[in-house]
Amino acid sequence: MACEDYKDLMMGYLDEELSAEQIRQFEEHLKACKACTAQLQEFRQLKAITDQMTLIEPEDRLWQQYWDGIYNRVERGMGWLIFSVAAILLIIYGGFKAIEDLITDPTVGLLLKIAMLALLVGLAILFVSVLRERIFFWSKDRYKDVRR
């Protein structure tokens, strides 16, 4: 086998993740290969520095507030969802009532009736278009196919 074939074993050897047979196989290669021995030494130096490195832990206050931060955002999301559904229902109801009143009102001129109707139809088309776009993006959502 060429040195290239030993690169994975070198990592396992460095991290003490090899079986006894793999260790024997790799050490045999090391005896015959100065390049891999030198490379292993460099990796050992790098590992020594990396193993010394730790990251600063945040203060306890942050952990005490961590769940509250999540729960508040979940709750707020629910609030917005309920609010949006209610607002949409009210707008649809109001729209229908407005159209009904407009059509049955004899004092309103025909041109105004047509203009108002066109305005509402335009709004409905815009709403459907935005909704369709949202559904399209949702179907492409990167979290939808999270492996489990």
What 27-31 contacts at long range (C-beta under 8 Å, 24+ apart), as own/partner pairs, is 29/1, 29/3
With binding defined as CB under 8 A, does residue 80 bind other proteins?
Answer: no
One residue of 24, 27, 46, 121 binding other proteins per CB under 8 A = 46
Q: Which is nearer to other proteins, 104 or 141 (CB)?
A: 141
| Under 8 Å between Cβ of 117 and 102 | yes
Q: Which amino acid is at 147?
A: R
* 17 near other proteins, rule: CB under 8 A: yes
* Rounded Cα gap, residues 53 and 70, in angstroms: 30
Check residue 71 for interaction with other proteins (CB under 8 A): yes
Tell the smallest beta-carbon distance from residue 121 to other proteins (Å): 35
Considering the rule CB under 8 A, would residue 142 count as an interface residue with other proteins?
A: yes
Closer to other proteins at the Cβ: 69 or 94? 69
CA distance 72 to 83: 16
The least CB distance from residue 120 to other proteins, in Å, is 34
Query: Which tokens hold the place of 63?
Result: 């952990």
Number of residues counted as binding other proteins (CB under 8 A):
38
Does 82 interact with other proteins (rule: CB under 8 A)?
A: no
- Please check whether residue 25 is in contact with residue 9, taking contact to mean a CB–CB distance below 8 angstroms: yes
Binding residue (CB under 8 A) for other proteins from 2, 20, 35, 53: 53
Is there binding between residue 63 and other proteins (CB under 8 A)?
yes
What span, in angstroms and rounded, lies between the C-alpha atoms of 42 and 34?
13
